[in-house]
Structure 1
Amino acid sequence: MQRFSIRRLQRDDASMFREVRLEGLARHPEAFGASYEEELDYSLAQIGDRIENSAIFGGFADDGTLVGVVAVARSKGAKMRHIASIWGMYVRPEGRGTGLSRSLMIAAIDEAKRTCSSIRLTVVSSNAAAIRLYESLGFKAWAVDTEALKVDDIYHDEILMRLDTRA
């Protein structure tokens, strides 16, 4: 079985992050609020800023290839600083079924738990594998955003999920 190392991305990982992010947006546009066309316009400096302003974790193969990513950001407002949002989860096909997705999510959850008591994410309702993963990690669905995204002429519902870290 393939093993992956997980680490927080740094500014100089911007090019690799951009490549994986664009791949995810192109292959699964229904799974992300962002669009391939919008992200294509971001400069490496802007992507570096994004990396510095969020905790973005990467899963690396033994040869140094970035195979998967996930990000977590803490809410900024004084009344919402207890909430972290997980975003941008994507694992390339060669990393699926290996435990990489779980490892990335655990890194994101551990980061969020340091300062937040509530972790939230959204997942397109058609992504059964992701929903199973999130539920296995303790996330609970709390709402459905009907027709949250429109890709071409097809609407996609998103499930809003939450993990309460106070136990």
Structure 2
Amino acid sequence: MQNSSMDIRKLTGEDAAAFQAIRLEGLQSHPEAFGASYEDESKLPLSLVSERIESGAVFGGFNDDRALEGVIGILKSQSEKVRHIATIWGMFVRPSARGTGLSSQLLSAAIDEGFRDCRSIRLSVVSTNVAARRLYQRAGFTQWATDRAALCVDGVFYDEILMRLEAE
């Protein structure tokens, strides 16, 4: 079911508390899907969260009540030899907003941002997250490698699928 009322915008430092809340929710509910841990991220002061938002590009999807329902980050490499590559990170959509098209809208915003300056966008997705893998494939991402046992959560190892999208 498509929901056209979501407002997608780049987050600012003023969104730090809302961003931290949704990020912690994602890390807690799906620890296998993120390289970061709930334990580490929950200790970060809001000032540092705000700095992270301001120094990169993080997009949020807001519902009619102005509540943050989903997020995605894109980081552009700074090193001269790899500054043509951007990396998508931290995508999470609250269960209540899944199936609304928000994931596609957030991904599209991140891709548009990445291709402003870069020619390649990369991401990693845990192999067990079939819905996310399908979303990325629909957007044109292709798998280029598998990172075996990339994450270990509570003694269980998870593979990550490495995907990329090239500018046309």
TM-score by length of 2: 0.98
Q: Which amino acid aligns with 1:6?
A: I
RMSD over equivalenced CA pairs, Å: 0.6
Paired position in structure 1 for 2:41: 39
1:69 aligns with 2:77: no
1:142 aligns with 2:144: yes
Q: Which amino acid aligns with 1:134?
A: Y
| Distance in 1 between residues matched to 2:38 and 2:78, nearest whole Å | 26
Q: Which amino acid aligns with 1:164?
A: E
| Distance in 1 between residues matched to 2:7 and 2:97, nearest whole Å | 12
| Distance in 1 between residues matched to 2:60 and 2:87, nearest whole Å | 17
Among all aligned residue pairs of Structure 1 and Structure 2, give the percentage whose two residues are the same amino acid: 55
Residue 113 (structure 2) aligned to one of 111, 114, 136: 111
**What stretches of structure 1 move > 3 A for 4+ residues in a row?**
none
Paired position in structure 2 for 1:12: 14
Q: Which runs of 5+ in 1 are unaligned?
A: none
| Distance in 1 between residues matched to 2:103 and 2:51, nearest whole Å | 24
Q: Say how many residue pairs are matched.
A: 166
Paired position in structure 2 for 1:30: 32
Q: Which amino acid aligns with 1:121?
A: L
Q: Which runs of 5+ in 2 are unaligned?
A: none
| Distance in 2 between residues matched to 1:10 and 1:113, nearest whole Å | 21
Q: Write out per-residue CA displacement over residues 69-118 of structure 1, whole angstroms, 9 at most, x where no aligned residue.
A: 00001001000000000000000001100100000000000000000000
